[in-house]
Structure 1
C-alpha cells in the first residue's frame, strides 16, 4: 500500500522558500520510506491558492467543494509536513486560519513535521513557542526534529549543508512514524443518518 505524505505550505511568495523547505523534507521522508521497502507519494498544498476559500469558511462556516477536497487530502494523509514563514514572531495568518477551520480532532495522532522559514535565525524559536503548542492542542504526533531555515542556510538556493542534514533527520523520523502509525491511526468513518422512523423506533420509555 502506498503511503501519502502531504506538505502544507503557508508561504505567500512565488517562489516560496516555505514550499522549498517543505518539499525537501517531504522528499527525505519518501526516500526514507523507500529504504524500508515502503512506497510513498508526496503532494504539496500551497495555502495561498485557497486563501479566499479559507476566509469564506471562517466567515460562513461553510467549506467550498474545492476546500473540502483539500481538507480531505490533508486529514487523510499518512504524514504531514507543515511549513510556515515567520510573521510578527508567529506563523502566517493564512496557516493559522487554515488550522482554525479544521475539525479540532482531524489531526489527532497524525505524524507531523513542523518547519518554518524566516529572515533571521533568531526567529527559529517559533517552532517551539508557537507551532508546538498549536499541534499539541490538536493532538498531532509531533516529530522530535523541527526544521528552521534562515537565508544563510540555503546556500545557492539548494538548502544544503546543515539544513539538508536536519531535513533528512526530520524526514527519517516522519518515515518511522508513518511506518508505525499507519495500521493503527484512528480513521473517522463517514457519518450516516438513520431514517427518522428508525430513530423513533429506537426510543424506549425511560431512556
Structure 2
C-alpha cells in the first residue's frame, strides 16, 4: 500500500512537517505502507503556472500522480487567517475532479494558538467532504504549546489508528468485491411465494414486506365493479365516478 503525506509548511524546519512526519510514522507502524512526502513549498511556482497554462510541471505532475495512486492520505496545513493556507488549497484545486473520491484522508493543522483548533471542522473537513474523500473521525491540531505537552501524542496515535483501519479495510474489501459472483435473480411468483434463484443456482430468500401483484391482477380488480378492493383500498372505476358526477 501507498501512504502519501501532503505538507504545506513554509519554513525550514517546519512544525507542519514535524506533525506530518509523526502522523506518518504512527500510521506506518500499524499498516505496511510505502510512505511518500509531498512538500508543497517546493511546488509553489509550478502550481501557479498550472493555473495560468493548464499544464502541470514535472514535479507537480509527479505529486499529483502520487496522490492519485495513494491508498491513504495525510494532509497537514498551517493556519493562515483562521483557515488553511492558500498554497494548500491551490494544490487540491489543480487535482482533477473525483481523484479523492473514496480515499481515506487524515486531516491535521498547526497554529500558534489553540483558539484556531476548530479550523479542522469548519475548513478542512468540509473541503475534503466536498472532494468526496473519507475523512477519519479524529483530526489533529497542534498549537505551539502542544509540543511536548500531554494529549498530542494520544491524538496522533488515535488518528493514525483510524487511518490505518480504513486503509486495511478498503484493501481487504477490494478483492472480495471483485470475486463475489453477480446475482441474476428471477422475481418470486406472487402466487406460490417461491424464492429467487441466483446465477449460481442457489436460493435467495425473498425480501420482507408485501408481495407486489402483477399489473393484470390490479387492472382486473379495478374493473370488477364498484366496491372492489385491492391492497386494502376501495377501488371505484373512473366510468362510475364520472356517471355519479353527471347525475348530481
Same fold (TM over 0.5): yes
CA distance in 2, matches of 1:88, 1:54: 21
Q: Is the 8 A contact 1:32 1:172 kept in 2?
A: yes
In the TM superposition, 1:158-197 aligns within 5 A as 161-183=150-172
Q: 1:203 maps to what in 2?
A: none
Matching residue within 21, 24, 36 for 2:19: 21
In the TM superposition, 1:25-104 aligns within 5 A as 25-33=23-31, 39-104=32-97
After TM superposition, give the deviation of residue 65 of structure 1 in Å.
2.2
Deviations 1:5-25 (A, max 9, x none): 111001111111111101111
After TM superposition, give the deviation of residue 182 of structure 1 in Å.
2.3
Deviations 1:49-93 (A, max 9, x none): 110000100111111122111100111111000000000011011
Q: 2:105 maps to what in 1?
A: 112
After TM superposition, give the deviation of residue 44 of structure 1 in Å.
1.3
After TM superposition, give the deviation of residue 32 of structure 1 in Å.
1.4
Gaps of at least 5 residues in structure 2 are: 175-248
Q: Is the 8 A contact 1:11 1:92 kept in 2?
A: no
**What TM-score do you get using the length of structure 1 for normalisation?**
0.81
Which structure would you say has the larger Rg? 2
Partner-residue secondary structure (3-state), 1:104: coil
CA RMSD of aligned residues (A): 1.2
The alignment covers a number of residue pairs equal to: 174
CA distance in 1, matches of 2:97, 2:83: 20
Gaps of at least 5 residues in structure 1 are: 34-38, 186-207
Partner-residue secondary structure (3-state), 2:124: helix
- 1:41 to 1:112, Cα distance in 2 relative to 1, 3 A: same
CA distance in 2, matches of 1:72, 1:119: 32
**What TM-score do you get using the length of structure 2 for normalisation?**
0.68
